[in-house]
Each structure stands twice: as structure tokens, then as C-alpha cells.
Amino acid sequence: MKIYSNRLKEHLAKQLDKVYIFASDEPFWLMNAAEMVVEKACQCGFSRSNKERFTDDDLNLDNLSEALTSPGLFADNIIVEINLSSLKPKNQTVLQTVAKSLHDDLVVIITLPQISQADLRTKNIAALDKLGISVIFYQATDQEIYNLIADTCSKYQIVLNNNAQALLKQTYEGNLFALCQSIEKLNLCGFTGNISLDVLKDHIENDNHFSIFTIIDTFINNQISIQKRLRVLNTLRDEGENVTDMVNKLGNALSTIYEIRCIIDNGGNLESFFESHPLLRSFKQKRDQYINTANSLSLATLKYMLKLICKADILARSFNEDMAFLYLREIVAMRSSNTPLITKRL
């Protein structure tokens, strides 16, 4: 049964279904919805310690089938999360396997990128929809963001007036993870009850001291605006961050994104790549963001960005940091437009 995203909390308060399908291009909504289902399942006798997670990067159907199978009369119930990157034929088999395996001791959570109403009516999705709940999360409206702020504040017994809420929304510019984390940090700092606008401003200023790694975090996040990316870059420059270090960090990220795009285009094994990657081997939560970035940029654009970063590296090492920084800005701008803006021959 399809329900609206703003009705999920209400529906979960009434019952727990066997299967949930969540679709969105905003990772926060997918993670938040999945967590709501897990919390409800735990209230109904399930356990976080008996939860399996699969992604379609290197999904083994035998392992999935084993996880979906009833663990036995005296065993714990099981929660299975499946993250699919598309509805391509190979993933249709996954959906069919889930539909055949549902039972009372199992809750399945399937997350997908944005899908259409027509996709919901396709055979395998429709079959699961009849057995459970499907929710499509669209780009958040202003009201939905304000509702999220209110719900998160309520969770931590914090009260913000309208001006304070507007400041939060404007500061984090659609980065819903950072927005919620900012409220959580207020609680960790001992703030509860009514919080003034001045206190919130001080908190945000302390929270907004960017590090060189913020360049990468904003670059790989599809929800960040070009204005935010450029503001991070300019702030680090104004604070005296070494341009050579900035070039190196962004260059490493670009090389990783380029490799991921090549693997995707050639049908290679991303899981093997991630397990051998010095950063993404440990930071598994960042893998999806790198994949989304690789998918959002054409191979030609990525090649052009790499040419620019090489040019910036040469300039920085030749002590021409001002010109190198201009190339960094150009790369960041291209990240949002996906169009080469410098036409000068390199």
C-alpha cells in the first residue's frame, strides 16, 4: 500500500508490516525512514542484534535467501535491510526473492533512489506493495524541513522560535544530516528548553569552523548548493589553509570518483574497490555519496576536472597559490553545473 511520507510515523504507530519500500534521492529520508521501522520492529519483539544489511554492489542471492529464511521456532525474529541502486533486471530477481520469502518473523526494508508512480505499478514492486508499505520521498519542501526541525527539537526537549528555526534552515542549506546533528549537539552541550536566537548563533558559529575535509564532504554531497561549496572554499582560504593541501585532498577525491565512474561504466565490482580503498574501506557510510557523485557527473566532465586539478597542483607547487585557488573554485562550480566553464586550452 502506498502512503504519503508524512503519514509514515502515524502508520507505524498502528502496526508493523512485513515489507517496506522507501524511495528517494535524499539519503537522510531513507536512513530516517529505515530507522523508524527498526525502532517499531524492536518494540514488537525484533532485535537490532539480529539485523542483516545487503547492497546490490556485490549481492549474493544465496546469502540473501538464507537471511530471509525463518531462523527457527526458538530464534529471534530478523530484520533485513536491502539497498538497491536501481530497478535494473538483476535487482528484479532480488525483489522476487523477497516476495517469495516473507513470513511473520521477518521485516524487510528496501531502499531505492527516486522512482516514479509508473515504477510502483511494475510487476515486482506492485507485488511487494500489496504485501507491505511503499513510500516515495520527494525533495523536501520548506514546511517539511521546518517539521523536521520541530520533531528533532522535540526529541531533545529543545524549543526554538520561528526566527531560530529559519536560521537553522538557512545555515545548513538542505544538508539535513548536518541540520539534525546541530540540534543534537545543542543537547550534548547541555542546552534544553527555550534557546534564544543569540545562543543558537554562537552555537552555529562554533560549529561552522570548516576543516580541509569539509571541502570533500560538500563536494560529494549532491544536496549541497554551489553557494555553500564556494563559501567553504573561500572561508578556508581566508583562514589561511594551505592551498597545496586543498588541491591534494580534492585531487584524491576526484581520482576516487573517476575510478568509481569507470567501474560503473564497465560493470566492474565496486565492493572489491571499496574494500581496497584506504579511506572508503573504513568509512562505509560515505560510499553511497561517492557513487551518487560519480553517477551525477559525466566521464568527460570528470576528465576535465582532473586536468584542472593537475594544473592547480602545478601552480600551487610553483608558489602561484592565487591562480591555483581560481582553478579550485572552477572545479567546485563545475560540480554543480556539470558543464566545463573554462574554455582556455590547458
| Arch. (CATH architecture) of 5-136 | 3-Layer(aba) Sandwich (3.40)
Q: In the predicted model, is pLDDT for residue 40 greater than 90?
A: yes
- Residue 240: other Cβ atoms inside 10 A: 6
- Residues of 12-31 as b/e, b for ≥16 C-beta within 10 angstroms? beeebbbbbbbbbbbbbbbb
For range 127-135, the mean pLDDT: 89
CB distance 159 to 194 below 8 Å = yes
Give residue-wise pLDDT tens across range 55-102. Answer: 887 788 888 888 888 664 445 788 999 999 888 888 898 999 899 888
Whole-number Å distance between alpha carbons of 337 and 304: 13
pLDDT at position 208, please? 57
For range 143-169, the mean pLDDT: 90
Cell numbers describing residue 251: 585531487
pLDDT at position 71, please? 60
CATH number of 212-337: 3.30.70.20, 1.10.3720.10, 1.20.272.10, 1.10.510.10?
1.20.272.10
> What CATH number is given for 142-207 in this structure?
1.10.8.60
CB distance 167 to 200 below 8 Å = yes
pLDDT at position 254, please? 94
Q: How far apart are the first and last CA of the chain?
A: 55
Cell numbers describing residue 337: 553545473
For range 253-267, the mean pLDDT: 93
* 91: β partners: none
pTM here is 0.58
Domain boundaries along the sequence of the chain? 5-136, 142-207, 212-337
For range 215-242, the mean pLDDT: 83
What share of the chain has pLDDT > 90, as a percent? 34
CB distance 229 to 217 below 8 Å = no
What share of the chain has pLDDT > 70, as a percent? 92
For range 285-308, the mean pLDDT: 90
DSSP secondary structure string for all residues of 13-71: HH---SEEEEE-S-HHHHHHHHHHHHHHHHHTT--GGGEEEEETTS--HHHHHHHHS--
Give phi and psi for 309, each to the nearest 5: -70, -35
* 81: β partners: 53, 109
